[in-house]
């Protein structure tokens, strides 16, 4: 079986989880990340707060924003980032989460300066930065340094899987699915 994906104009051979499929997909993705840029991903929502917001506000925003991080900004200029990892680092094991920490300004707990990536950088550069620096979030900026979005590892994974909708949509929900009742659907 040999076919051409309608979305990426890449050729695939084999079916389902044959090794051919596996190698074909990976090679196509490697080309894709070199040829495409951060700005090709579309909107990358960046929940943002001012440096004088409280940690309590930041935590609520972090949870509701569902992006894993808050960009701390002064106007359109990113000055820091506050991520789930920062919450982990700062959560005192010996006391409850309420208390004086509620009023701590974000400026005191954020990571600064934030790790950034240019909106015109290639996806490969973005991935390389994340992998080498150990980040899950990169603040997307333009050449003048203004905030353009927030890039997460999830955005990249999502984009990559979206390039192959036929292949991913046809895979079963559970690869090793076993049915307890042989008469079940």
List of residues contacting other proteins (CB under 8 A): 2, 11-14, 17-27, 29-30, 33, 59-60, 62-63, 68, 84-85, 87-89, 91-98, 124, 127-128, 130-131, 134, 136, 153-154, 156-158, 160-162, 167-168, 171, 175-176
Nearest distance, CB of residue 181 and other proteins, angstroms: 18
Nearest distance, CB of residue 95 and other proteins, angstroms: 8
Nearest distance, CB of residue 120 and other proteins, angstroms: 19
Nearest distance, CB of residue 23 and other proteins, angstroms: 5
Q: Which is nearer to other proteins, 175 or 185 (CB)?
A: 175
22, 10 contact by CB (below 8 A): no
Instruction: Take residue 56 and report the two structure tokens written for it.
Output: 């309590």
Q: Which is nearer to other proteins, 11 or 40 (CB)?
A: 11
Q: Which is nearer to other proteins, 7 or 158 (CB)?
A: 158
Distance CA 98, CA 110 (A): 18
Instruction: Take residue 127 and report the two structure tokens written for it.
Output: 């991935």
Distance CA 79, CA 125 (A): 22
């Amino acid at each position: 079986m040999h076919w051409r994906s309608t979305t990426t104009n890449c050729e695939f051979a084999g079916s389902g989880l044959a090794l051919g499929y596996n190698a074909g997909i990976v090679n196509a993705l490697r080309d894709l990340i070199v040829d495409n840029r951060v700005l090709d991903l579309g909107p990358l929502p960046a929940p943002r707060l001012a440096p004088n917001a409280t940690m309590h506000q930041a935590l609520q925003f972090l949870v509701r924003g569902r992006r894993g991080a808050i960009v701390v900004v002064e106007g359109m200029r990113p000055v820091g980032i506050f991520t789930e990892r920062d919450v982990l680092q700062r959560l005192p094991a010996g006391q409850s989460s309420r208390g004086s920490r509620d009023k701590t300004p974000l400026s005191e707990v954020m990571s600064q300066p934030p790790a950034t990536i240019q909106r015109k950088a290639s996806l490969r550069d973005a991935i390389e930065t994340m992998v080498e620096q150990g980040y899950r979030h990169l603040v997307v900026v333009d050449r003048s340094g203004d905030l353009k979005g927030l890039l997460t590892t999830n955005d990249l994974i999502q984009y990559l899987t979206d390039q192959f909708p036929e292949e991913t949509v046809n895979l079963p929900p559970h690869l090793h699915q076993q049915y307890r009742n042989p008469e079940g659907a």
